[in-house]
Amino acid sequence: MLGQGLRPDAIEYRTCNQDGAAAEQALQTARQLSLPCVNTGDTHGLDFIGRFWIETPLALRDAADIRGIVLDGAYRNCSRDP
């Protein structure tokens, strides 16, 4: 259970692997636990490329910078959902 023990840094919000109801449930869970919700580009086929992502005005020096950006809320969720 997410409310006990170790917690993730964020909750996966919009992804190609879930429908709108699952995304809404993820958003509600994130709000209850005060965690960021992050769109992800989990791609399993060509039709999934470029549908969900995050953008930030901050410079990225390496992949490790993404964690701090998410934890600081310095991003916005973006989508191109058909």
Q: How many domains does the chain have?
A: 1
Give the HSE-up count for residue 24: Cα atoms under 13 Å, Cβ half-sphere: 3
- Is position 70 within any domain? yes
Tell me, what DSSP letter sits at residue 34? T
- Is position 41 within any domain? yes
CA pair distance 76, 54, nearest whole angstrom: 5
- Is position 5 within any domain? no
- Is position 16 within any domain? yes
Range of the domain at 21: 11-79
- Is position 22 within any domain? yes
Sign, Cα dihedral of 24, 78, 82, 42:
negative
At residue 82, the pLDDT reads 59
Q: What is the pTM for the complete model shown?
A: 0.82
CA pair distance 8, 70, nearest whole angstrom: 12
Mean pLDDT confidence for 5-23: 89
- Is position 26 within any domain? yes
Nearest to 13 by CA among 73, 53, 58, 55: 53
Residue 6, pLDDT > 80, answer yes
Q: Average pLDDT of the chain?
A: 89
